[in-house]
A and B are shown apart, each in its own frame.
Chain A
């Protein structure tokens, strides 16, 4: 499986993602955003970082890069696309995912480990993982997901919430929410299910040396995915 890993000015997780992808048997390739062509790839990753210094809003300037049009095209064709941390912010800014990510409610940058409950297996990154509780690291100052009430009701009803912050036993408590995110939402999908974003870093917990391997399961779900390039498979 060929996976494109996008690099913008200020991206910092691309080599970690490429490494983690190679651990699960994928063939990663890092692509420069300005001339990114996603044709010929089976999936794409928008990694974390601080693209364009987070100027204006996190992800706002990356969202008008030529790569944004390419991501839109590939997403419409059903390509599995995963955005982590700043990549999640970029996908929201592009409009491929609903809502927006704003300053953490307590205003603190959080660098920590969190627990996440997998809420939906209707995506190539969570297939057969529903109900599992994963432990992953976070490192962000703007990870509080917000949306208007209608959007929130819609994503919950459609099963678009993929990851929710919980405690180690899977209870979504206020204490287990590291940034004040609405309904403890840590990550979600588009309506079709092929585009997924999450604030935590799966690539940073892909081998024992890093203190955890749960992130690998998200990438393994992708490489095991049988639905590559078939958008209708995800549509409800």
Chain B
């Protein structure tokens, strides 16, 4: 349901933004969308694919390497769809003339989908085969230069060392994805329309070749990468982070009834996702857009994405490792878990409203009613996300016979 909601929001935003645009603007919009795709595929694969929750069952079935590869590629399918559907709508969503410039629109769409597909395949191959290197870093058998730099300079990212290769991979995949889009845009801007296909084709071919080479031993890649992520993110060997956990008293604004569960949930969420940093970066982006004077329609889409993404993060708390069903149900009722997760989501209500208030104070485009409306939207989304996640987890649990 959350997925459907996000797909609906993105599709609506695509239709809204592309309405009335000429083919050239649509092509530019598709390349911008491919940039968003590069960003998504630079971050999403390890979160979507690893550790695989079905690994024990897959071992019982003992699927062949190629079948494991197909299985994992399919798991990335919904993300590809999330980017492909809005792309189709950006290309063809033209109520004034759906059949006008059909050829030009189709070529632009093809190029956009090529860029999205190439970025997806490149990052899939890269992340799916990262297990051995990540484990070597985690156990101090590789990446000594990084450890030495951290020791000498006292600086480094606040991640378990084994996740540093994944961080580098994120940067690398994003850089490659952006380079390919920029090269495509440069070729198109200089009238080299045939050459504009080359960067996407090259990346797709290169990623395809790597995938083909790793195909016969994909069982090793799959089990190794899954084993590594199971080690570093769960399975009783969770690495501690250096972030200070939220103190109980800091949640004074939560009703007493739900405060203990909210406290435990927020601590778990903070250890899995740097949500505060993501929210801060998102609002920096908002201020930048407002300073640049982008259209209110764009800001509406942007805020919808930020708020939806933030509340959707409570799905992390629905994973079996964070919410063992019998334990959760023994602690509280389903209704109480909805209340708990609503307040987990509302943790960022204050910063959101504060950021919007700054936009109102330092600009002239928006007023206080705008802030109030978005506060109401956030409240509604918080309740909705909490309800969806809880119904899918504690709500679907049936006590053993």
A and B held together in a complex: no
Residues of B within 8 A of A (CB): none
